[in-house]
Structure formats: structure tokens, C-alpha cells
Structure 1
């Protein structure tokens, strides 16, 4: 049961993504309500059938002072589509500092990119321009909603209104 469920705060803002068993438990224990169910199946017990949750809303508002995307190796890889920003390879990926740390480069979203080991070695302690490498995309810090929308894997159609995505055609 690898399906994901969108969790909304009490004000219908996107809060997180959880597993189906966790979402079902929240609804069953009356800590959340089912906003939308998936048409792709049901949860069955010996004598009862329940709708498969797709979007749930918590009854109590959860205050999150910081809703950012944590800077981690895997999150940088996700942002860059799991491919080298220089050559597009999917093999042997590493992190690369655009401005090398030895030249004062910081470890942050705007200075880290995904690079294959070959391109990273070619670039070495140089800037991409000095190494004659061009970026396929400029690095950026993803917002929380953007991260949920773009990097959470496949999303269900009934998540669209809550993630600020224009209707799909």
C-alpha cells in the first residue's frame, strides 16, 4: 500500500503527505475528516469497506513556524531531477558547489547542484565558467508547496485545488 495522502491543516492549507494507514487512523480516531477519497480502491476489513483516503483535513489547526524544505543531498537531487546539471547524466551523482568552498562558496540551495562524478572532477576547484561548463538550469530554493507539488512523486487529481496547480488537461 504505497499510496500517499495529502494532509491539510484546519484552514485547508497543504501541510504534508502521509501514508494511507496513517491517514485512515487519523480519520478513524476523529482527528481528521476525509475531504476526498481515491476512486482507485477501498480499505476492507472482515465486515466493513472504507473509502481509500486521498485528501484529509485535520480538525485542529497545527501551527508550523517554519515550513521550508530542508537542505539535504536527496532534496538537491530531487530538485535537479536526479541528473547532472552539466551533462544530463543519471549515473554516479554527487553534489557540486558552484562557487567552490575554497573560494568562499556557501553550502546553500543557491550554490549546490547535482553533478555526475565526471563533470564534478572536470570542474574541480573552478567556477563553471572557468571550467567551460554550462548549467542546464539555475539552482533555486524550492518553496514548501512547490516541493510537495513537484517532488513528491505522482500526485492525484483531487490534490490539484489544494496545491495551487492549474487544472490539468
Structure 2
């Protein structure tokens, strides 16, 4: 069982084991925000609700320059598993400017793509194919992108992972 750790400002910070979360709570470094009452943790003399979300009591400063590394899984997640060319379900990624023409592995040059479009596009640019990108590839932003394991979020984490509209 995993636990979402929130910074003192309620932004997602990390995902830890429930054991680590209990240690943070017992040492008064965090408080429980949400728990899993169906699966308590039994100790020798007591039982505790298993924490699913905890809040740190002190704010932890995160470097704002921390870059999100490019990955296949990240590109698919950013593009919501949809092909950037046709909008169908995507299972692979594509270089907008092909690598053979100097295209790099960057957030701005990689898009989610279905196998059909990827094979059809081959070593061409979208312009040469007469295609338009449905999305503008750019680096993802937001604190939830900094947290590993958030792709398989638990239902009780949703309210803490959705960005607040300003």
C-alpha cells in the first residue's frame, strides 16, 4: 500500500510506503489527511488507520528549476494516450522532426502516436505529409509531474492531484 505525501502547502511531494508514512506521523513530522479504514495496521498494543494521504507539518522547499526528464511513458501521459495526428489511441511515440534529420529527444519534439500514423509518417515531417499536430508539444508542468508513481494514483488521491484553477 502506498501513501501520497503532501507538502505543508498541500502540493504533492512524493509517494512513500505506508510504513514510512506511519513513521512520519508517529514522529509528528506529518499528519494524516486521508486514511484507508478497511485495512488497519495492527501493532502489539493498538491498531492504526492506514494513511493514504499525509501532510508534512513543515514546508519542504522544492527547487523550481527541477527539470522533468523526457520518457516514453511521460509523453504518452502528457498527450493523454491520444495520437497527435489522428486522435486515436496511441501506443508509441514519434519524433516530429525525425532523428535522422537532427530531431532530438525533447518534450517539444516528441508526441504520442498510433502505430498506423507512425508507420505512415516514417521519416517525414508532418508538413511534408500535409498533417497538422492536434497538440502543441511542450514540457509538462505542475507539481504532480514531479512525483513518481502518480500515474497509477489511488482514488482517494484525486482531490490532491488535480490542479486548482486560478
TM-score by length of 2: 0.73
Question: Equivalent residue for 2:140?
Answer: 142
Alpha-carbon separation, structure 2, partners of 1:80 and 1:62: 30
Alignment of 1:51-130 (within 5 A): 51-59=49-57, 61-65=59-63, 66-90=65-89, 93-130=91-128
Flag the 1:157–1:44 CA change in 2: closer, same or farther, 3 A: closer
C-alpha displacement of 1:86: 2.0
Higher relative contact order (CA 8 A, sep 6+): 2
Mind listing any 5+ residue stretches in structure 2 that lack a counterpart?
none
Alpha-carbon separation, structure 2, partners of 1:105 and 1:118: 21
Alpha-carbon separation, structure 2, partners of 1:148 and 1:156: 19
Q: Give SS of 1:21's match.
A: helix
Q: Aligned-residue CA RMSD in angstroms?
A: 3.1
**How many positions carry a matched residue from both structures?**
161
Q: Give SS of 2:127's match.
A: coil
- Answer whether contact 1:145 1:163 (CA < 8 A) is retained: no
C-alpha displacement of 1:137: 1.9
Alpha-carbon separation, structure 2, partners of 1:18 and 1:144: 19
C-alpha displacement of 1:158: 7.1
C-alpha displacement of 1:76: 0.9
**Which deviates more from structure 2 when the two are superposed, residues 33-42 or residues 132-141?**
33-42
C-alpha displacement of 1:152: 3.3
C-alpha displacement of 1:123: 0.9
- Answer whether contact 2:37 2:49 (CA < 8 A) is retained: no
Please list the CA deviations of residues 69-98 of structure 1 after superposition, one character each: whole Å capped at 9, or x if unmatched. 22111111111122322233436x222111
